[in-house]
Amino acid sequence: MDGRGRHVRFGIQIVPEDRWRTAREKWRRAEQMGFDHAWTYDHLNWRSFRAKDWFTFVPTLTAAAVETERIGLGVLVASPNLRHPVYLAKEVAALDDISGGRLILGLGAGAGGFDATMTRRTVWSRRERTERFIEYVRLTDLLLRQPVTTFDGRYYVASEVHSYPPCQQQPRVPFAIAAAGTRGMRLAADHGSYWVTTGVPNSLDSAPYEQALPVVRQQVEALEKACVEVGRDPATVARLLVCGPSVGGVLASSAAFFDAAGRFAEAGITDFVVHWPRPSEPYLGKVDILEKVAEDLDRHRNQ
C-alpha cells in the first residue's frame, strides 16, 4: 500500500524494438506475471535506437491488445511532436475498442531531438511547446468526449469532426499526463486520471532511486496543490512513476524493487512502472530478476 493506505499498482514499460514474433512473448508474459498495466513509447527515432529497429505505438498496442485479455495497455507518451489530436483521437477510440476498454492514453509535451526536427523547419521554444501541449490535451479531451467537435485554436484546428464510434470507456479513455512544471501540473489536475513522472525532470542520467525520493515528494505536493486550486480531490488522481530514465537500481534485485516501490508509495506514488530489462543500455538488466519480482507480486499486494 502507499502512504495513504491505497494499494500500489505495478506496471512494465516495453521498448518497441523487437520484431513481433519476439515482442508478443513479452506482452503475453507481462500479463502472466501479474502486472496491472503495460506500456510502450511513441517516437519515430529515439536516442541510440535511431539506426535500429523501432516500431510505433498504434500497431504495437493493437497487436498487444489481441494477444492479451486483462492487463491495462498504454502509451507513455503521445505528444504534439508526432500526431495531430484529430488523428490521435480516432486511433485511440479504435484501440480502446480492440482492447475491450483497457487503453490508457499517456500524453506529454515531448522534447527536442529527432522527433522534433525531422518534419519541421523551426524548433519550438519551451514556451511554445508548453502552450501547444495545453491546447493539445484540451482538444484531444473534447474529441474523445463528444460526438462532433469544432475547435479553432492558436495551434490546432478541428472543423466539424465526427467522432464515431465513441470510446468504449466513458466518458473517454483515461489520460495519464506527464508533467513537472506548474502549468503541466494544473493540466494533469484538470484532465488526468493519472499524473506521470520519471523523477528528475528531463534527465536521462540514471542514479540510485533513493536520490529521487525528495524530488518525487515535492512533485506530489505540487500536484496535490494544483488539484486543490482547480477544486479537485487530490486522491482522485493516480500518481505514476516510470523508473529507468533517472530512477535507477530498482531492478538490481527483487528486494530492491519492493524496497523502492514501498519508499515511493510512502511519497505518494500509486503506480510503479519499470522497464523490461534489456541486454544493453538503456535499461540494462536481467529478465530472471523480473521473473523473481513477478513471483513476489501477490505476496506484496496482500501485505
Does residue 168 sit within a domain? yes
pLDDT surpasses 60 at 2: no
Does residue 54 sit within a domain? yes
Per-residue model confidence as pLDDT tens digits over 124-145 = 999 999 999 999 999 999 999 9
- Answer for the pair 248, 235: CB distance below 8 angstroms, yes or no: no
Note down the domain range covering 250: 9-301
User: Helix, strand or coil for residue 279?
Assistant: coil
Which pLDDT score, from 0 to 100, does residue 118 have? 83
Does residue 127 sit within a domain? yes
Which pLDDT score, from 0 to 100, does residue 166 have? 97
Q: What is the mean pLDDT of residues 216-220?
A: 98
Which of 75-84, 107-116, 208-217 comes out lowest in average pLDDT? 107-116
Residue 287 has what DSSP assignment?
H
pLDDT surpasses 70 at 15: yes
As for how many domains the chain has, the answer is: 1
Per-residue model confidence as pLDDT tens digits over 62-75 = 999 999 999 999 99
Does residue 2 sit within a domain? no
Which pLDDT score, from 0 to 100, does residue 303 have? 66
pLDDT surpasses 70 at 202: yes
Per-residue model confidence as pLDDT tens digits over 143-194 = 999 999 999 999 999 999 999 999 999 999 999 999 999 999 999 999 999 9
Per-residue model confidence as pLDDT tens digits over 95-111 = 999 999 999 999 999 98
Q: Please give the backbone phi and psi of residue 106, each rounded to the nearest 5 degrees, phi first.
A: -80, 135
The CATH number of the domain holding residue 243 is 3.20.20.30
The helix (H) or strand (E) run that includes residue 11 is strand 9-13
Which pLDDT score, from 0 to 100, does residue 4 have? 52
Does residue 1 sit within a domain? no
Does residue 280 sit within a domain? yes
Does residue 262 sit within a domain? yes
- C-alpha–C-alpha distance, residues 250 and 275, integer Å: 10
User: Helix, strand or coil for residue 40?
Assistant: strand
pLDDT surpasses 60 at 199: yes
Residue 70 has what DSSP assignment?
S
Cell of 213: 525520493
Mean pLDDT of the chain: 94
Which pLDDT score, from 0 to 100, does residue 141 have? 98
Q: Over the range 102-137, which residues count as b (16 or more CB within 10 Å of their CB) and which as e?
A: bbbbbbbbbeeeebbeeeeeeebeeeebbbbbbbbb
Does residue 225 sit within a domain? yes
Which pLDDT score, from 0 to 100, does residue 301 have? 73
pLDDT band at 114 (very low <50, low <70, confident <90, very high): confident
pLDDT surpasses 70 at 9: yes
Span between the terminal Cα atoms of the chain, in Å:
8
